[in-house]
Structure 1
């Protein structure tokens, strides 16, 4: 018998990316410039240059723009494929006919990610839960009382751009109660159980949870009502930056165990008035400098999650046993096709020395061949009678 913890350890280190060739590519990135906010136009021109370089190198790039009142309020892109930027060099920068041009050289490296993995061709299902907040008092600035669901929605939108993921937003649920210590030994069993329950509800293989750690101002005195503070703000000599820090957890949906976690942080100028209550995730929020910095961070988080899950095994839960025909909860939307083969695993519950529940797997050394495929589910047959090996609902099919 293989214990599920061993499976998770194997999943975490399975098939890490291997570097291949590198080359220099020159491109010109462009962005509209109306004479205001040169920094934003420059950032968009640089993103345009980056997209062009990656496309020339053979990567797949998806972009998404949100427009409000005729202006771009959010502009981001995601990258998938086998290319990575190692270094960039600015060659020239000029404005011509209202267009900012950046001529840039990029050192682009080809990357072969898990080339021998059968699981790579499938889209894994992932559920995004609502975020918890470590310091609720910090939500007053900007009226961020909707951030628990707003941040989950923003992450959901960015994850939707990843080719190999099927994303479900479950932002009405949150996972962490003791947010200061999350995740901790004392809350681990409850957390694992809740994560697995949420995953089963939507048929997800992975669950994302998180905690917003810090939304504080770097210098709260910069926003005081004193004459001196107002004078410093008017002369652009005040530190008006606000922090944004979050910690993200990716859980295995069958055991609830955390298979990847990381902290992220950024700070950017808070340009709104101290009494502004526009809220998190509004068009006004995404259009200011702080919102743009948060958007870029969230997009980076989504890209990292996609990279982490790309080489993980593809796992589907058996939903019904009908003679030699087994039905399971993944279909065409996950990339399953007739003729595909999956290894069959029995699941068992066990308790460790601390009486904490866990799941262990047994490879029954037989495979299922897919015969019928529907958008959200599929079915296939096995060569032997499932009753002989005691195959039941909630057992698993795995592609490595």
Structure 2
């Protein structure tokens, strides 16, 4: 899905609230104008709310361009008070709407201004037999690769270090009771030099078995096909689950039943079914960005020198010369249930970036003796833009 928007602000009469204008676009799938309109309105509202300084998750409460409740709250620091659709246009299979939204936004948390590094592993199929219709056995690989590429090309907040073309052995529904998943996340994060790991599973791509109403047996009628995915965002430092995301939809599968479709092909992604996957992945990317919007930017110490340390983040991650950070010691311990836990002990030692390369940076301190007890795999936490230490 493409998203182009222009936002302007007009002061509202209500204290602490402002009017914002934004434009959102959506594909028209299966000729469903109303659905595309709802999706375009949601994208426009997302844009306006983010511009206003509030965080947001996927919007589900907008129907036919109107609010389904008096107010909608977003992560307790932003509220959509009013909404008006100003115009609607279509061009080919794309629909655009221009909206005017009244938003109350509380200040967000301080941010380091850096990207959060993430690794995405190939998503396996929960039910492989679902892929037989159309032969889309590689749908999990294609979806995860497209998500990696989208983050790389479009995200200002995430940096996808690597797409792992391998199935990671884990079952999402069994995630919480299994401590070994923590170790898996930490191992993958160290292996790929990332702070977070995204694992997932394609839960449903089944085709409806409803009989066609067309009595002409030689005429193929497209059948509805589900698309559902579950994603787990894991902290690569601690191995713990940050957040679980679930998405699902159902659109017509427009290919003949005997045609094998390559899910990596342009034909697939330009079909109505592929476009639905594109929208779902766009929502997931937005939700992951929101989930990490207040998370600190943490880098591992990979080498220690006489007057400073080298960390595994660099200019590609937004590190710049002169930026400051706090030295933090990371320790692990066993909780009463036998699960490995991680704790961070922030010291009073402040570091400054003296030199930076693409994927690493050299930080120094005024007091080199303070680094005597620093160990490899200790971490530094970069200071927020407006944060006071």
If the length of structure 1 is used for normalisation, what is the TM-score?
Answer: 0.73
Give CA deviations for 1:155-200 in whole Å, capped at 9, x if unaligned. Answer: 1122221101111233323334335x33141xx2221111111111
2: CA distance, partners of 1:329 / 1:343 = 15
2: CA distance, partners of 1:94 / 1:323 = 63
**3-state SS, counterpart of residue 292 of structure 2:** helix
Paired residue for 1:16?
Answer: none
Q: Is residue 348 of structure 2 the alignment partner of residue 365 of structure 1?
A: yes
CA contact (8 A) 2:22 2:44 kept: no
2: CA distance, partners of 1:299 / 1:201 = 27
Paired residue for 2:101?
Answer: 107
Match among 144, 148, 152 for residue 144 of structure 2: 152
Match among 175, 184, 189 for residue 194 of structure 1: 184
CA contact (8 A) 2:49 2:78 kept: no
Judging changes above 3 Å, is the alpha-carbon distance between structure 1 residues 388 and 221 closer, same or farther for their aligned structure 2 residues? Answer: closer
Cα deviation, residue 383, structure 1: 3.4
Paired residue for 2:315?
Answer: 332
CA contact (8 A) 1:327 1:380 kept: yes
Paired residue for 1:131?
Answer: 123
Q: Is residue 300 of structure 2 the alignment partner of residue 304 of structure 1?
A: no
Q: Is residue 144 of structure 2 the alignment partner of residue 173 of structure 1?
A: no
CA contact (8 A) 1:319 1:393 kept: yes
How is 1:241-320 mapped onto 2 (pairs within 5 angstroms)?
241-320=224-303
Structure 2: state its 5+ residue gaps: 1-14, 54-76, 384-389
**More helix by percentage:** 1
Q: Is residue 358 of structure 2 the alignment partner of residue 375 of structure 1?
A: yes
**3-state SS, counterpart of residue 174 of structure 2:** coil
Judging changes above 3 Å, is the alpha-carbon distance between structure 1 residues 213 and 389 closer, same or farther for their aligned structure 2 residues? Answer: same
Structure 1: state its 5+ residue gaps: 1-18, 61-81
**3-state SS, counterpart of residue 295 of structure 1:** helix
Give CA deviations for 1:114-146 in whole Å, capped at 9, x if unaligned. Answer: 25x142x11111111111221111111222211
Cα deviation, residue 348, structure 1: 2.0
Cα deviation, residue 358, structure 1: 2.6
Judging changes above 3 Å, is the alpha-carbon distance between structure 1 residues 110 and 168 closer, same or farther for their aligned structure 2 residues? Answer: farther
RMSD: 3.9
2: CA distance, partners of 1:304 / 1:144 = 26
Q: Give the aligned length.
A: 345
Give CA deviations for 1:60-112 in whole Å, capped at 9, x if unaligned. Answer: 9xxxxxxxxxxxxxxxxxxxxx999776555566779x898866433153646
Q: Is residue 202 of structure 2 the alignment partner of residue 212 of structure 1?
A: yes
1: CA distance, partners of 2:150 / 2:24 = 26
Cα deviation, residue 113, structure 1: 5.7
Cα deviation, residue 389, structure 1: 5.2
Paired residue for 2:6?
Answer: none
CA contact (8 A) 1:159 1:306 kept: no
1: CA distance, partners of 2:343 / 2:138 = 39
Judging changes above 3 Å, is the alpha-carbon distance between structure 1 residues 335 and 350 closer, same or farther for their aligned structure 2 residues? Answer: same
2: CA distance, partners of 1:118 / 1:386 = 30
If the length of structure 2 is used for normalisation, what is the TM-score?
Answer: 0.75
Judging changes above 3 Å, is the alpha-carbon distance between structure 1 residues 380 and 56 closer, same or farther for their aligned structure 2 residues? Answer: closer
2: CA distance, partners of 1:21 / 1:273 = 52
CA contact (8 A) 1:45 1:102 kept: no
Judging changes above 3 Å, is the alpha-carbon distance between structure 1 residues 23 and 243 closer, same or farther for their aligned structure 2 residues? Answer: same
More RCO (CA 8 Å, sep 6+): 1
CA contact (8 A) 2:36 2:95 kept: no
Judging changes above 3 Å, is the alpha-carbon distance between structure 1 residues 104 and 395 closer, same or farther for their aligned structure 2 residues? Answer: closer
Judging changes above 3 Å, is the alpha-carbon distance between structure 1 residues 156 and 111 closer, same or farther for their aligned structure 2 residues? Answer: farther
